[in-house]
Structure 1
Amino acid sequence: MKSKKIWITLVVLIMMLLVPLGKVSASNDNYLQKVKDKGTLVVGTSADYPPYEFTVKQSGKTNYVGLDIEIAKKFAKNLGVKLEIKNMNFDSLLVALETHKVDAVISGMNPTPERQKSVDFSNIYYRGKQYMLINKKDAALYKNIHSFKNKTIGAQTGSLQYDLVKKQMKNNQIKGLAKLNDLVIALQSGKVNAVAMEEATAKAFAQNNSSLKVINPEFNVDSSQTGSAMAFPKGATSLVNAANKTIAEIQKKDLINKQYIPLAGKYMSNNSKKNSMWDYWTYFAKGIEYTLIITVVSVFFGFILGILLALLRLSKNKLGKAIAVAYIEFVRGTPLMVQVMFVYFGIGAIVQSLPALLAGIIAVSLNSAAYVAEVIRSGIESIPSGQTEAARSLGMSQTLTYRYVIIPQALKNIWPALGNEFITLIKESSIVSIIGVGDLMYQMQLVQSATYKGVIPIFITMVIYFVMTFGLSKVLGYFEGRMKHA
């Protein structure tokens, strides 16, 4: 009994010693020092949220502006480092933070208790009300949340507004989308009856679109959940403290109201005056460039890996065949979007220097390889076994038989199917926009947020994709014709 008491006493003493040690360790984290050592503060944002963060075209380049961006600039300046902005979907921001793809997140984000479980927040730097954006023609119908009974309400996924609609408008159907631009398009096309968003953002859309109107639906909001704050990795106390110093300086000088919001309004006004699609042709050109880079590189590596997987699946080596079958079935059985996110956020958490473009190429290449492998396998199996037997009887090795007899004939048979896979790849590469790769889809979203026009950029993007795929189909058709006459 005595020895048991002694052991309990020792355990209690050790725990008492470890608790303060843990606190010291947390307070003496090296996050701030890491940022200073690399000389760059990487900040994640979702640049479709005026006046907090959005894009403008300056000297032919895309620049990120808004009151959040100004705060991030001020924070980086106070740290003595350069600011790097990473633009991605709002619901991917905290994942990027937890996997250390970014050092901080500033995107009009509310420090809700649920989010505080996984990340740390700075002090509130701006507080606004929660509004509804509606079509002006419906102004007489909707006054508060009770007016929307049995209606469809749109909200950005992962946002405070989404939770408010879900909890306080239970008789309504909620439609969640990642981008506010898409929600505004849904509103204008009658897919939703209203869109819940933060006050300043709702007013920004209404001021730049005469067919829209804002109302205060009088949500019952807990004051502890309102307001915008910067988010940091869990345990990054040094960065949080540094951010709080910057926020205190900004609030003392009232920079948000005196400088940042007026500057954002100026940018928004200029965007409204110069919102012709022709003014943004460089956006679409850059998108085409990235889309073609991703497609060409992915086709090359996907084809090489596809041949290897097809040969392994057809081989007599049980281990190699099992690996090939497992890979092909797994990749074909999971969505490309999930694979892209896994490569960027999953593998990227281990290899933190992995760029979004490279992650996108890797994911698309690995996905394409599985489909190419099946196309090649079916092509090889379509060749009569007598061809192989004849080649082997002439003294040709298995390698030479495949190289000079089987593959050339199989290629003729599978060329149309391979062509379809390459064309599909151009369209499927648009998935990489979710991790911030500047492909055509990503650039389209930038144009939408910069011009406050939703449908026209989509139409232009459709035409561009059609021109690329139609052109490629004609090129592939030409080579297919030559193969038939060879």
Structure 2
Amino acid sequence: MKLPKKTMMAIMTSLLAFLTILLTVMPVKAADQVTNNSVMQRIKQKKELVVGTSADYPPLEFTASEAGQTKYVGVDIELAKDIAKDLNAKLVIKNMSFDSLLVALETGKVDMVISAMTPSPERKKSVDFSKIYYHPSGEFFLINKKDQAKYRKIADFKGQTLGAQTGSIQYELIQKQMKSSKVKGLSKINNLVLAVQSGKVAGVVVEELIAKAYAQNNHNLLAVQSDLKEAQAGNAVAIAKGQKDLVAAVNKTIARVQKEQLIEHKYLPAAAKYMKTAKKNNSMMKYAPYFVKGVGYTVEITIFSVLIGVILGTLFALMRLSKIKLVHWLAVAYIEFIRGTPQMVQILFVYFGVGYFVSNLSAVVAGIIAIGLNSGAYVAEDIRSGIGSIAKGQTEAARSLGLSQAKTYRYVIIPQALKNIWPALGNEFITLLKDSSLVSVIGVSELMYQTQLVQTSTYRGVLPLAIAMVIYFIMTFTLTRLLNYFEKRMKHND
């Protein structure tokens, strides 16, 4: 049944009004939470300090493998340990994309951010910063060694594309000082390095230590000092607005660290040691537990998301077929809205947006809910088309035999519709398994997330991705065979 244009306009207007109210209330609620229950109080109550970082920036923050377990290491991680120690709290690291860190801080997912972050004027509008704990020595171009005679300064990159981490100072520097060049932003340094190696970008702009770290661990890359001019303040700890007591405590730790010169004499040497170890022992077999763990989370997310998708899909399919206008309109609004917005945006909204109201919502649960909600909209349309393919005579015959409408759908219509739509449902399940990789953006340890950890730990870009592709293929191929088996069983029972 096609809805009148006025009805569709009313539905869309109502949805926009609801979202406007929601987005207006959420920041107010967050501000209330900060005022009424300070971050410092929460840390003292839980005896736990949650620090957000993007662990792909050696030697400041990166990962290492010890006994098959992921260990977060680097200068920033060591600083986080000292801050936690001074606060008498257990340190918990949340690893996520760099451009999601401040959102996580503002929504209370983390207590502070320590991730080589510069306190720029734009960032100061949203969050507060500690005093500077580390002054970078300058920006470098990370290029392919074969291009060392070609790219040495800004003018050499005219008409070329350079890479930088999304939301970083380096991204802004390219935009402002390299107007004759294009900039490509990616959230992970691993992917930027891969882009350099594959020729997608001519070079990447990163801090000196990071450029040299990747160049020393990859003989195909070269770190070249750039002629970019900057007045970089340095790196500081980001803390939510209004947390003066926490800022003071962090500044006290930083003052001690600087007085004892821990960064130069302890933090950097320890990071260099891990980098050398990774260079010597970066066999993929060593990282097999990473991929196994990733597969486990991927399967878990897929199973629960399928259950949510099938239940919601069936419900909204029946609602859309309902003759009750309000019920019908609600189903249409849900399906059209979900299908009309990107799935990654939905994942971020559920994790960060709903997090305003459900503070203990984990990334795994948020990912399952978001993917399940998305799948429900598509499953609903599959089921609706399947029901529509059943001849009206089937319904009439069932009702003439005394079956109620509910029993008619349960025993007559749905079983026949399921056989018709099984291939389409199978495709949806396979797509859902692959789309589970999107939840890596909020730090869920599924296969893609673990692959990125392996890239960071081994300084290899292509091989971990190749292994992940093979694993995904094995999983999807196995699922396809299983779906085909059930499809044959259905046909055999006809």
Which bracket does the TM-score occupy, shorter chain normalised?
A: over 0.9
Alignment of 1:7-22 (within 5 A): none
Q: Which runs of 5+ in 1 are unaligned?
A: 1-25
2:367 pairs with 1:360: yes
Q: Distance in 1 between matches of 2:100 and 2:159?
A: 30
State the 1:59 CA deviation.
1.7
Q: Distance in 2 between matches of 1:147 and 1:472?
A: 50
Q: Distance in 2 between matches of 1:354 and 1:62?
A: 23
1:70 corresponds to which residue? 78
Structure 1 counterpart of 2:186, one-letter code = L
| Structure of higher CA gyration radius | 1
State the 1:132 CA deviation.
1.1
1:254 corresponds to which residue? 261
2:371 pairs with 1:371: no
8 Å Cα contact 1:27-1:238 kept in structure 2: no
Q: Report the secondary structure of 2:81's partner residue.
A: helix
1:164 corresponds to which residue? 173
1:209 corresponds to which residue? 218
CA-to-aligned-CA distance 1:117-151 (integer Å, 9 cap, x gap): 10000111111111111111111122221222111
8 Å Cα contact 1:286-1:439 kept in structure 2: yes
1:96 corresponds to which residue? 104
8 Å Cα contact 1:70-1:260 kept in structure 2: yes
Find the partner of 1:183 among 185, 192, 217: 192
Alignment of 1:10-409 (within 5 A): 30-128=38-136, 129-222=138-231, 225-409=232-416
Q: Distance in 2 between matches of 1:380 and 1:387?
A: 11
Q: Distance in 2 between matches of 1:77 and 1:413?
A: 61
Alignment of 1:400-419 (within 5 A): 400-419=407-426
Per the normalisation by structure 1, the TM-score is: 0.93
State the 1:30 CA deviation.
3.1
Q: Report the secondary structure of 1:108's partner residue.
A: strand
Q: Which runs of 5+ in 2 are unaligned?
A: 1-33
Q: Report the secondary structure of 1:102's partner residue.
A: coil
Structure 1 counterpart of 2:339, one-letter code = R
State the 1:94 CA deviation.
0.3
CA-to-aligned-CA distance 1:322-357 (integer Å, 9 cap, x gap): 000000000001010000000000001221110000
Q: Distance in 1 between matches of 2:221 and 2:470?
A: 28
Q: Distance in 1 between matches of 2:418 and 2:483?
A: 13
Q: Report the secondary structure of 2:92's partner residue.
A: strand
2:456 pairs with 1:449: yes
Q: Distance in 2 between matches of 1:369 and 1:300?
A: 9
Q: Distance in 1 between matches of 2:36 and 2:118?
A: 26
CA-to-aligned-CA distance 1:145-202 (integer Å, 9 cap, x gap): 1222111111000000000011000000111111111111110111111100011111
- May I ask how many residue pairs the two structures share in their alignment? 459
Q: Distance in 2 between matches of 1:366 and 1:426?
A: 14
Per the normalisation by structure 2, the TM-score is: 0.92
Q: Report the secondary structure of 2:286's partner residue.
A: helix
Q: Distance in 1 between matches of 2:383 and 2:447?
A: 30
Q: Distance in 1 between matches of 2:107 and 2:214?
A: 33
Q: Distance in 2 between matches of 1:412 and 1:244?
A: 65
Distance 1:370 1:206, change over 3 A: same
Instruction: Quote the RMSD (CA, aligned, Å).
Output: 1.2
CA-to-aligned-CA distance 1:432-466 (integer Å, 9 cap, x gap): 00000000000000000000000000100000000
State the 1:28 CA deviation.
11
State the 1:31 CA deviation.
2.5
Q: Distance in 2 between matches of 1:374 and 1:81?
A: 50
Structure 1 counterpart of 2:208, one-letter code = E
